[in-house]
Amino acid sequence: MSRSRSHTGPSHSPAWAPPAAAEQIWNEFSKEESTDEATIQKSFIRHATKTLARSSYNMDQFAAYQATAHSVRDHLIDRWNATQHCHSVKDPKRVYYMSLEFLIGRTLDNALLNLNLKDHYKRAIGGIGFTIEDLVDEEVDAALGNGGLGRLAACFMDSLATLDYPAWGYGIRYEYGIFQQKLVDGYQTEYPDYWLTFGNPWEIQRLDVSYDVRFRGYVEKYVDVSGQTRYRWEGGEKVVAVANDYPIPGFQTKNCINIRLWSSKPKKEFDFASFNEGNYDKSVEEQKAAENITSVLYPNDNHMVGKVLRLKQQYFFVSATLQDIIRRFKKTSRPWSEFPQQVSIQLNDTHPTLSIVELQRILIDEEGLTWDEAWDIVTHTYSYTNHTVLPEALEKWAVPLISDLLPRHMMIIFELNLYFLQRVEKLFPGDRDRLRRMSVIEEGHPQYVRMAHLAAIGSHHVNGVAELHSELVKTTIFADFVEFFGKEKFVNVTNGVTPRRWLHQANPGLSTLISEKLGGTAWLKDLSQLDKIKAFADDVGFQNRFMDIKYKNKIRLAEYVKDVTGVTLSPDALFDVQCKRLHEYKRQHMNIFGVIHRYEKLKSMSKAELEKVVPRVVIFAGKAAPGYYTAKLIIKLITSVANVVNADPQTSEYLKLIFIPNYNVSVAEILIPASDLSQHISTAGTEASGTSNMKFVLNGGLILGTVDGANIEIGEEVGKDNIFFFGALTAEVEDIRHHQMYHNVAMDAKLQGVIKSIQSGRYGDSVIFEPLLGTLRSDYYLLSKDFTPYLEAMERVDAAFKNKSAWAKKCITAAASMGKFSSDRSIQDYAKRIWKITPVPTTEEFA
Ligand SMILES: *Cc1c(COP(=O)(O)O)cnc(C)c1O
């Protein structure tokens, strides 16, 4: 029925051989343009007039942003082409980072800084009559992620490019990113984020790179020519995956790598049978369903929701990505046995785990390898990053769902589970409970596939994302697997953040000061050099400059807050920030209960007492999953308390409370450099790592936090005097929960006071908050146990903030101790210990 070209990749017409004259022009135009002011201005005007079809009398600021973006994109494409050419000639081992989320944020400012073109463009654009800062602000965020996991993927891409590693990111080009959050009557309301409305200059659509992806159908058993029984997956329906490329420039290198995001398109073959029967509507509907696959990002963070469309997204992404990787591998005609020497695939959480099954299927069903040959290749190719041990976040998919959508994959999962359990039985004969615990299949009605088990069995390494978390991985969810595989398979790679975006770009004042002291910008590629800033921690002149930068960042934030909430903030107050996804385990409710406690206390103070109080601004930001009722109630409580507190003339000098709506990367870039204190107060053992904790300290703020995730390692680096720790330890949590449950432990008295205050109706009708207060009965997250220690830690913060010089010293020392938390260090860890890849700089002959 096919009337169109196949979708299995580019056509193989003979390679074009240009005539000599054409080749000369080609070479001239494919060189990177020069970056003098006049050339940039010409490029801007060329794009304004030719790409955007604007004329001088209908240019506005947004069009100017677009023209600038297209002009910068030209540089990216030149470098991208050079890098790809270099890599295809040198053909090194590559790493493929598979992630269902990339929380990139804006690109223009980042690209200008990484390309070292910011000053050139500032002058050139200024000369045309626009201000580069205004144009940067016109860009909408690429918000193709929920929170930490997606942002980690984006930081890793920046580091991979900067360190010249031959790497690709693979993901989905969602048409709707994470929803936009607005406050209506103090409640979160969600609006679709159709971020592509005005086009996207940062993507290159590759209609020539497309693959068919099959769903459903049936499995056919047959005997091949050599008499082997084999299987093939047939029938069902097909959709097409089309590549969209996002060039990612490294900092101060020619290398520019690629994130390839797939979008789904209907297969061109039209259902003419349906059409001829007059069933036009039905055939159109099926086409539409194909496009639906990549429509929207699921907005759940650390919470599994078993929707069919999500499973479709996962397989769609996995299938297209593997076809692309295999096509590239096959170009060099190596034998399959060399695949793991050429290809390393990292799974960012279990979301892409079907990739393991899909590679096994391709190798045995399509490439004719034996089961054992195939499985050997698979298990030397994959590695898997675990991001959580929270039970509600562990992915499991109902067997009937997978059987229906991916019948051959379900067969393979059962088979590899059987072989795996046979190996377990051999090592631990008769240990039935162990077999039950370790099985990929959770028994029940229905059965479920445990994706973490599948990922662990199919990978050569499993890593956690901070020391404590990696220990928990080994002692909780994978304890049996450590006994079976040995502990060497389970490693730690502590997360990091890119200092290019999170310091150089977000905090240019501080970046400039550091470069001045360190004699250049080399530290931005080797963050361990920050250490040398410690020498200035006692220098009063340096302290003043450091804190003056902080002060200006606080003014910038205050202006933003005034803009979006109408509330006026004094930059002299202590800015206390908690911004992250709303989640009970992150305990934003403990923070707001603490604010209520502070407010009540202020109300009871005399004038003389009040004058000794450290004025405080408490700022929250973060999105709640649309279906997460308790998290949304926490937002409503914050906004309700804010309405009362901010309008109280008796206390307003000493306490302000803000909820900044629509937290995203661009908001984080304003918020983080302006904080004196940030809170990372998850119940011990629940936050795998956290990465915003790193961003805050890097920007000269201190942490108030629990002994959890990467807080612990940050504490080790900055020293115990430069971080405010409190609360129960991981090892105590289970016992405390047990004790609370069976011994009628009374709630903390101060927390009871807070609850009374809420129930008095002071913050509006308290009935609406009862379900939230009700969670304190079983108190799974230990708010009561930690509340008094939390308030005491707050008092230590207030006392410390009063001594300006001592506070400055703490901030400088802490920031200067953050060398470990560059994502460059994380990536080097992965590259050396897990991926076994080395840098491949793009050399002159390719540029
Ligand atoms: C860094 C970052 C996160 C992660 O924050 P945590 O506090 O580590 O959970 C989430 N969202 C955005 C926009 C970020 O930049």
700-733 residue pLDDT tens: 999 999 999 999 999 999 999 999 999 999 999 9
If one counts every other C-beta atom within 10 angstroms of the C-beta of residue 278, the result is 8
For the chain, domains (ranges, CATH) are 91-105+141-493 (3.40.50.2000), 558-819 (3.40.50.2000)
Q: Which one of 680, 692, 704 would you pick to mutate in the ligand 1 pocket, going by the greatest count of ligand atoms within 8 A of its CB? A: 692
Q: Taking residues 309-328, report their average pLDDT.
A: 98
Residue 32's pLDDT band, with cuts at 50, 70 and 90, is: confident
**In the predicted structure, residue 3 carries a pLDDT above the cut 60:** no
Cα 217 versus chain centre, distance: 34
**For ligand 1, is residue 622 a contact (CB within 6 Å)?**
no
Going from the Cα of 124 to the center of ligand 1, the distance in angstroms, rounded, reads: 34
Please tell me the distance between residue 536's alpha carbon and the centre of ligand 1 in angstroms.
30
Which atom of ligand 1 is the closest one to the Cα of 689?
8
Tokens of 746: 């009374």
Answer yes or no: is pLDDT of 847 > 90.
Answer: no
Ligand 1 in contact with 489 (CB < 6 A)? no
- Convert the pLDDT of each residue in 549-576 to its tens digit: 999 999 999 999 999 999 999 999 999 9
Work out the pLDDT band at 8, boundaries 50, 70, 90: very low
* Residue 69 Cα distances to 86, 278, 667, 678, angstroms: 25, 47, 21, 34
Looking at residue 5, its pLDDT comes to 42
Q: Say what percent of the chain tops pLDDT 90.
A: 93
Is the Cβ atom of 692 under 6 angstroms away from ligand 1?
A: yes
Query: What single-letter amino acid sits at 511?
Result: S
To the query of whether residue 691 is one of the catalytic residues in this protein, the response is yes
Instruction: Give residue 833 CA to ligand 1 midpoint distance, Å.
Output: 26
Q: Is 668 in the pocket of ligand 1 (CB under 6 A)?
A: yes
Amino acid at 188: Q
Q: Find out whether the beta carbon of 691 lies less than 6 Å from any atom of ligand 1.
A: yes
Residues 6+ apart with CB under 8 A from 666: 105, 106, 141
In the predicted structure, residue 6 carries a pLDDT above the cut 50: no
* Residues 674-687: tens digit of each pLDDT: 999 999 999 999 99
| Statement: residue 234 has pLDDT above 70 | yes
Indicate which atom in ligand 1 lies nearest the CA of residue 586.
9
Catalytic residue (choose from 118, 267, 351, 586): 586
**Predicted local distance difference test score (pLDDT) of residue 1:** 32
Sign of CA dihedral 672, 534, 467, 591: negative
Residue 387 has pLDDT above 80, yes or no: yes
Q: Residue 665: CB within 6 Å of ligand 1?
A: yes
Q: Which residues, in sequence order, are CB contacts of 443 under 8 Å at separation 6+?
A: 436
Nearest CA to ligand 1 atom 15: 665
CA angle, corner 687, sides to 681 and 688, nearest 5?
150
Residues 364 and 321: their CA atoms lie apart, in Å, by: 18
pTM confidence score: 0.97
Say which amino acid occupies 121.
Y
Cβ–ligand 1 distance for 690 under 6 Å, the answer: yes
Residue 387 annotated to the active site = yes
Residue 664 CA: nearest ligand 1 atom is 13
Please say if 379 is a catalytic residue.
no
Query: Of all protein residues, whose CA lies closest to atom 8 belonging to ligand 1?
Result: 690
